[in-house]
Amino acid sequence: MSTARTAILDRLRRVNALPLKASEPDYPIWNDADPDAMLARLTGLLEQNHAEVLRLPRTALVTTLRERLAQAGIKRVATGTGGEFFDDITQALNGTAERVCFDRPLEEWKDTLFNAIDAGITGCHGAIAASGSLVLWPGPEEPRTLSLVPPHHIAILKASTLHTNLPAMMTDEGWSQGMPTNLLLVSGPSKTADIQQTLAYGAHGPSALTVLILEDA
Amino acid sequence: MHNRPQHFHAQAEAALADTELRANFRGAMDYLRDKRKTAFADAAEESAIRDRAEAIRQRCLSKLPELLERLESNCIANGIRVHWAENAEQANAIFTDIIQSHGGTLAVKGKSMVSEEIELNDAMAKEGITCLESDMGEYIVQLGRETPSHIIMPAIHKNKQQVADLFAEHVPGFEHTLDVDTLIQTGRRVLREKYRTADVGVSGVNFAVAETGTLCLVENEGNGRMCTTVPEVHIAITGIEKVVEYLADVPPLFSALTRSATGQLITTYFNMISGPRKDDELDGPKEVHLVLLDNGRSQAYADEELRKTLQCIRCGACMNHCPVYTRIGGHAYGTVYPGPIGKIISPHLMGLDATQDLPTASSLCGACGEVCPVRIPIPELLQRLRHEAKQDPRPGALPLRGQKAAASNTEAFVWRSFALATRQPALYRMLTWCATRLRWLMPKKLGPWTRCRTAPRPAAKTLRELMAERKQ
């Protein structure tokens, strides 16, 4: 449709709109940089949005994960094939739940992922205190659907990766220099209020979100 | 048969007579207004965010052609294929080509008002492709063979009883219940099976970032993620006005959008999609396509005042606060975009001849302008369109499609006569003398005006006569 392209752009150009400069008024945004305040804000907002948040030291990851899986009655867990917490996850699953590694293209095991997995475990790239959001940066070792398809998503977050707000995180990490194929903010389990404004969880994605925050990592 | 803007008056009357519909809207609008009020508890903060959002939208629109080209080249560099469509027909042809080239028969679709605009579902059905709505509200509306009645809450006109009845009719194995959780789980069960098997996923776009070639998608349910992640092909469609210059433009707009729309600080999911699956990745679509649609937007763009219409970020706050929308609901308008924003955008999409009644469906109370997060002066634009519907284009200005369609010879004659009479003192005196002395000839019925009002009657003496008496 290159003729459509030319015609549309020609019409827009003919208007000769005067390009405005980027000098926009500032707006207030939550920007407390105190680590405790950030952590409290993140935890509070995630819990408000129906997520379960556990704060623990790095050394307690394996046991906490194991306890959580047992409490939630999780039998089969999908995990990635690497990442910082791979060994801890492996250890926690050992003897607790069956593990299915996301080690082949989705098409080859879509049915299993959709119908026979209870939970998916992923790490987080970081988090945003102002809005109470986890930042997921999926990749080959932790694919996108790991945090989407299983009914329970367990996310592991290092407190040191917490940023005060989204603009600060974008700038600090230079997002505009190169974006991954899929970058995602998650602020709770999937939900909807489409039927008579009644809030219901688990609309399409996970109905439960558990966040394990490693306070000393 | 869907409603049409040409039949606005009859549709509005029918909606007003439907007490169940009115109760559903009253409840929903009160709920959404309260949520927004809580989200913007601090008036100074609200004002600052709106100023910022307005400034960003105006800057990005001022560079629209340049930004579209930059978006296109960065998307292509990221592996996204970019298509351009002048109108619904061309857009649907693009969809058909892509889907058929993959031998696809089932597409799952996230919420997209632009896809409603091009009537994608009907067009695909003609090609033998099923296009299934996956947003819970849209799914309900599609089951009922209806169109959305609100741009962010498509099934807002239905209560849970009506939803349960629809499920009982269409979903095999559904046991009738009014429990909302069970109703949602029913929808979830049906739709998850479709995500798993669909050939193509379709989505809209909330912000398209020129700087990085990124498509942003705002949602709570996760159906947007499903549609853009699980099927092997993802096709996104957006109006050409949705492009923003920088990634840094996104956070303030996103914040303004979610707070204005549903009173949320942030939505559950915010997707930033910058390309198809890479060679080493194990999921995500293998192809991502972006369809850029004009469909009348460049007409709105041509006029500096009407261009402000394109600042819209589709939050629906103007509808939630409109006394007319609250009483008649979305379907009465007969347009894809209902309510105040619909009244100013639809004339560009469909022509003023079809939509001439819509700009008059406003009390001009100003509520829509007061809540708009990007400060679109909706009441002023409504007045402008009322003029355009009746008059020739201004000298040097481009005509709107269907301009002057609402012109009436009787009305024009009355105004010309009035203008003449007020310029001729003798004639004016004679006419006012007649009007006061023959006041008993005034008819008791004056069409719709007297349906709920008493007809006015001229005074016994003119103002000039009364003033003259006072001086004596």
DSSP annotation string for B451-471: GSSPPP---SS-HHHHHHHHH
pTM of the model: 0.95
Supply the pLDDT for residue B1. 54
User: What is the number of H-type helices and E-type strands within chain B?
Assistant: 22, 10
Q: Residue B266 and residue A196: Cβ atoms within 8 Å? A: no
Interface of A with B in 94-113 (CB under 8 A): 102-107, 110-111
Q: Could you tell me the pLDDT band of residue A2, with boundaries at 50, 70 and 90?
A: confident
How many Å lie between the alpha carbon of B246 and the closest alpha carbon of chain A? 8
Interface residue A73 vs chain B (CB under 8 A): no
**Mean pLDDT score, A129-156:** 98
Supply the pLDDT for residue B398. 82
Residue of chain B nearest A105, judged by CA positions? B282
Residue of chain A nearest B158, judged by CA positions? A196
What is the DSSP secondary-structure string of B47-84? HHHHHHHHHHHHHHHHTHHHHHHHHHHHHHHHTEEEEE
Q: Which residues pair with B293 in a beta bridge?
A: B85, B239
Q: Residue B90 and residue A5: Cβ atoms within 8 Å? A: no
The rounded distance, in Å, linking the Cα atoms of B228 and B91 is 19
A93 pLDDT above the threshold of 60: yes
Which of B140, B184, B280 is closest, CB to CB, to A200? B184
Supply the pLDDT for residue B394. 83
Interface residue B153 vs chain A (CB under 8 A): yes
Supply the pLDDT for residue B362. 96
Supply the pLDDT for residue B449. 87
B360 pLDDT above the threshold of 90: yes
Which residue type does B464 have? R
- How do residues B151-196 score in pLDDT, each as one tens digit? 999 999 999 999 999 999 999 999 999 999 999 999 999 999 999 9
Which of A8, A29, A105 is closest, CB to CB, to B84? A8
Supply the pLDDT for residue B244. 98
Percent of chain A with pLDDT over 90: 97
Interface residue B7 vs chain A (CB under 8 A): no
B380 pLDDT above the threshold of 80: yes
A1 pLDDT above the threshold of 60: no
To 10 degrees, the CA torsion angle through B223, B228, B230, B233? 140
For residue B444, how many other CB atoms are within 10 A of its CB?
8
Q: Residue B222 and residue A204: Cβ atoms within 8 Å? A: yes
How many Å lie between the alpha carbon of A181 and the closest alpha carbon of chain B? 5
Q: Residue A25 and residue B49: Cβ atoms within 8 Å? A: no
User: Which one, of B220, B263, B355, B239, lies nearest residue B33 by Cα?
Assistant: B263
User: Which one, of B206, B208, B202, B204, lies nearest residue B234 by Cα?
Assistant: B202
How many Å lie between the alpha carbon of B125 and the closest alpha carbon of chain A? 23
Burial class of residue B23, CB neighbours in 10 A (0-12, 13-18, 19+): exposed
Percent of chain B with pLDDT over 70: 100
**Mean pLDDT score, B35-58:** 96
**Mean pLDDT score, B64-81:** 98
The rounded distance, in Å, linking the Cα atoms of B97 and B198 is 17
Which of A21, A27, A192 is closest, CB to CB, to B220? A192
Q: Is the separation of the CB atoms in A186 and A195 below 8 Å?
A: no
Q: Residue B188 and residue A203: Cβ atoms within 8 Å? A: yes
Interface of B with A in 231-270 (CB under 8 A): 232, 240, 245-248, 251-252, 254-255, 262, 265-270
Interface residue A174 vs chain B (CB under 8 A): no
A136 pLDDT above the threshold of 60: yes
Mean pLDDT score across all residues of chain B: 96
Choose between B441 and A2: higher pLDDT: B441
Q: In degrees rounded to 5, what are phi and psi of residue A28?
A: -75, 140
Interface residue A164 vs chain B (CB under 8 A): no
The kind and range of the H/E element at B423 are helix B409-423
ipTM of the complex: 0.98
Q: Could you tell me the pLDDT band of residue B37, with boundaries at 50, 70 and 90?
A: very high
Which of B159, B252, B254 is closest, CB to CB, to A196? B159
**Mean pLDDT score, B100-124:** 98
How many Å lie between the alpha carbon of A211 and the closest alpha carbon of chain B? 14
Instruction: Give chain B positions within 8 Å (CB) of A25.
Output: 48, 51-52, 55
Interface residue A8 vs chain B (CB under 8 A): yes
Residue of chain B nearest A137, judged by CA positions? B272
Interface residue B20 vs chain A (CB under 8 A): no
Q: Residue B196 and residue A206: Cβ atoms within 8 Å? A: no
**Mean pLDDT score, B99-124:** 98
How many Å lie between the alpha carbon of B175 and the closest alpha carbon of chain A? 17
Percent of chain B with pLDDT over 90: 95
Q: Could you tell me the pLDDT band of residue A6, with boundaries at 50, 70 and 90?
A: very high
Residue of chain B nearest A205, judged by CA positions? B222
Interface of B with A in 163-202 (CB under 8 A): 163, 180-181, 183-185, 187-188, 191-192, 195-196
Q: Residue A204 and residue B192: Cβ atoms within 8 Å? A: yes
Pick the residue of A8, A117, A207 with the most B CBs within 10 A to test the interface with B by mutation.
Answer: A8
Which of A187, A202, A205 is closest, CB to CB, to B225? A205
**Mean pLDDT score, B223-243:** 98
Residue of chain B nearest A23, judged by CA positions? B55
Interface residue B62 vs chain A (CB under 8 A): yes
Q: Residue A181 and residue B248: Cβ atoms within 8 Å? A: no
**Mean pLDDT score, B301-317:** 97
Contact residues for A117 (Cβ-Cβ < 8 A; gap 6+): A76, A77, A78, A100, A149, A150
The first and second tokens of residue A158, run together, are 């290092």
Q: What are the start-end ranges of the E strands in B220-283?
A: 233-239, 243-244, 269-273
How many Å lie between the alpha carbon of B13 and the closest alpha carbon of chain A? 24
For residue B303, how many other CB atoms are within 10 A of its CB?
18
- How do residues B413-424 score in pLDDT, each as one tens digit? 999 999 999 999
Pick the residue of B57, B70, B220 with the most A CBs within 10 A to test the interface with A by mutation.
Answer: B220
Instruction: Give chain B positions within 8 Å (CB) of A140.
Output: 278, 280-282
